[in-house]
Structure 1
Amino acid sequence: MNAHTALIDRYFDIWNETDAGRRLTLIAQTWASDATYVDPLLSAQSHDGIDAMIRAVHERFPRHTFRRTTAVDGFADRLRFSWELSSPDGVSIVKGSDFGQVDADGRLRTMTGFLDEVPGAA
C-alpha cells in the first residue's frame, strides 16, 4: 500500500468514526492544522471545522458509511479517488470523486469534492 492510499483510507476512517475523541485524534494525524475542505454542499477549515462538518453529516445521515470505490491515483503532492455513501442497509445513496493535496509532512492540506451521483439528480 502506498502512502497516498494509506492516507485516504485513514480519511475514510475519520468520516466513519462516531466517537468524537477518536475522530479528533484521527483528524490531527491526517489533516494539516490549516487544512481546508470544500464540496458543493459543505466547507470547512482547520481541525475543528473539519470535525464539525463530519459531525453534521453524521447527524443528517446516522449510521451511514463512506467507502472508497476506486484506487487512489496520485503523483507528487496530488491525489484523487472516488467514493460512495451507503445507507445502513448497504444501499449507495451518493457517489463522488475527491481531489486532494498533501503537505510536506504527508497530511492532507486541501480536499475538493465533487458529487457524481445524488438522489433526485437527472
Structure 2
Amino acid sequence: MSNPVAKIVDRHLKIWNTRDAAERITGIPSTYAEDVVIGEPAVWFSGFAGVECAIKAVHAQMPGMHLAVTGPIQTTGDMSMYTWVLAGKNSNSVVKGRDVITVKHERIISRYVFFDT
C-alpha cells in the first residue's frame, strides 16, 4: 500500500526546489493550509507568506540547493515524519535532518524541522 502523504511531500519538495518565486507562490496554496506553521530551531514562520519567506531564506543562503527525501515516510494518524538532505550545487550534502508534518484535507498544517547536522 502506498502512503498518500507521499504525494503531499512530493509537492512540498517541488515548491522548495523551485527557483522561480512566482511559480512557488502559485503552488503554495495547494500544498499548505492558509494558517500553516513552520517551526525551525531558531525561527518560526506562519501562513503562505511565511512559507515563501522560509524558502527565500534558504535559497539566499544556499543558491542552487536541492532538497530530497532520504528515507521512508512514516505516518501515524495525521502526523508524518521523514528524513531529508539539502545538497548544494555540487550535490554534496550540506544539511541533513527530519521533518514532522501534520496533514489535514491534503494540505500541510504544520511542519517542524529538526537538523541532524
Does TM, normalized by the shorter one, top 0.5?
yes
**CA-CA distance at 1:9 after TM superposition:** 1.2
Across the aligned residues of Structure 1 and Structure 2, the Cα RMSD in angstroms comes to: 1.0
Amino acid paired to 1:108:
I
Query: Could you tell me which residue of structure 2 aligns to residue 113 of structure 1?
Result: 113
Q: Secondary structure at the match of 1:79?
A: strand
What are the equivalent positions in structure 2 for 1:92-107 lying under 5 Å apart?
92-103=93-104, 105-107=105-107
How far apart, CA to CA, are the structure 2 residues paired with 1:5 and 1:26? 16
Residue 52 of structure 1 and its aligned partner are, at CA, apart by 1.1
Superposed CA offset, 1:76-97 (max 9, x none): 2110000011011110011001
AA aligned to 2:28 is I
- Write the distance in 2 (CA, Å) between the matches of 1:69 and 1:106: 22
Count of residue pairs brought into register by the alignment: 116
Question: In structure 2, what residue type is equivalent to 1:82?
Answer: T
What are structure 1's unaligned runs of at least 5 residues? 118-122
Identity %: 29
Aligned residue identity for 2:50: G
- Would the aligned equivalents of 2:73 and 2:81 in 1 still touch at CA under 8 Å? yes
Task: Tell me if 1:64 matches 2:65.
Answer: yes
CA offset digits 1:4-41 (Å, max 9, x no partner) = 01111111111111111110122111000000001113
Q: Is the 8 A contact 2:79 2:102 kept in 1?
A: yes
Question: What amino acid is aligned across from residue 81 of structure 1 in structure 2?
Answer: Y
1:28 equivalent in structure 2: 29
Q: Retained in 2: the 8 A contact 1:101–1:111?
A: yes
Instruction: Return the alpha-carbon distance in structure 2 between the equivalents of residues 9 and 42 of structure 1.
Output: 24
Structure 2 unaligned runs (5+)?
none
Look up the equivalent residue of 2:108 and give its one-letter code.
L
Q: Does structure 1 retain, via aligned residues, the 8 Å contact 2:8–2:31?
A: yes
Aligned residue type for 2:30 = Q
Query: Partners in 2 of 1:59 and 1:22 — Cα distance?
Result: 17
